[in-house]
Amino acid sequence: MERVTKWKPEFESQAKVAIALTIIIASYNTRELLSDCLRSIYQNPPSEPYEIIVVDDASKDGTSEMVGACFPEVRLLRNETNRHYAYSNNWAFSIAQGQYMLLLNSDTIVLPQALDGMLAFLKMHPEAGVVGCRLLNGDGTIQWSVKSLPNAGSALFGARSIITRMFPNNRYSRMHLLHLGRDMTAPFLVESGYLSSAAFMVPREVACEVGNLDPRLAYHVDADYCKRIADAGYKCYYLPTATIIHLNHKGGTLADLRTRFRSLLMFEVHSYLYYRKHIQRAMWNPMRIFVPLGLFCHFLILIAAQTCTEFATTSRSLLRPKASGR
CA dist 82 and 60 (Å) reads 10
pLDDT tens-digit readout, 251-283: 655 556 677 777 777 777 777 877 878 777 666
User: What residues contact residue 303 under an 8 Å CB cut-off, 6+ apart?
Assistant: 261, 264
Q: What is the pTM of this model?
A: 0.80
Range of the domain at 105: 12-142+184-248
Tell whether the model's pLDDT for residue 26 goes beyond 60: yes
**Domain boundary residue, one of 219, 248, 277:** 248
68 and 108 co-located in one domain:
yes
Q: How many residues are there in the chain? A: 326
What angle do helix axes 31-43 and 63-70 make, rounded to 10 degrees? 30
**Domain boundary residue, one of 194, 219, 248:** 248
Element (H, E) at 315: helix 287-319
Query: Quick check: is 45 in a domain?
Result: yes
Query: Quick check: is 179 in a domain?
Result: no
238 and 272 co-located in one domain:
no
DSSP class of residue 291? H
pLDDT tens-digit readout, 200-227: 999 999 999 999 999 998 888 999 999 9
CA dist 127 and 235 (Å) reads 6
Query: Quick check: is 130 in a domain?
Result: yes
Q: Count the domains in the chain.
A: 2
281 and 235 co-located in one domain:
no
Percentage, residues of the chain above pLDDT 90: 55
241 and 274 co-located in one domain:
no
Query: Quick check: is 215 in a domain?
Result: yes
pLDDT top residue among 317 and 69: 69
Compute CA 114 distance to the chain's CA centroid, rounded to the nearest angstrom.
Answer: 16
pLDDT tens-digit readout, 82-91: 888 999 999 9
User: What residues contact residue 205 under an 8 Å CB cut-off, 6+ apart?
Assistant: none
Task: Write the CATH number for 34.
Answer: 3.90.550.10
116 and 229 co-located in one domain:
yes
135 and 203 co-located in one domain:
yes
CA dist 225 and 101 (Å) reads 14
Query: Quick check: is 105 in a domain?
Result: yes
218 and 282 co-located in one domain:
no
Please, which pLDDT band fits residue 249 given cuts at 50, 70 and 90?
A: low
259 and 133 co-located in one domain:
no
Query: Quick check: is 133 in a domain?
Result: yes
Query: Quick check: is 209 in a domain?
Result: yes
Tell whether the model's pLDDT for residue 284 goes beyond 70: no
pLDDT for the residue 282: 63
User: Cβ distance 26 to 57 under 8 Å?
Assistant: yes
115 and 259 co-located in one domain:
no
User: Cβ distance 198 to 108 under 8 Å?
Assistant: yes
Query: Quick check: is 154 in a domain?
Result: no
Element (H, E) at 166: helix 162-166
**Domain boundary residue, one of 230, 248, 266:** 248
97 and 197 co-located in one domain:
yes
272 and 137 co-located in one domain:
no
User: Cβ distance 22 to 96 under 8 Å?
Assistant: yes
Give strand ranges (E) for 44-174. Answer: 50-56, 75-78, 100-104, 108-110, 128-136, 146-148
User: What residues contact residue 10 under an 8 Å CB cut-off, 6+ apart?
Assistant: 94, 95, 97
200 and 307 co-located in one domain:
no
Q: Residue 233, by phi and psi: left (phi above 0), alpha (psi -120 to 50) or beta?
A: left
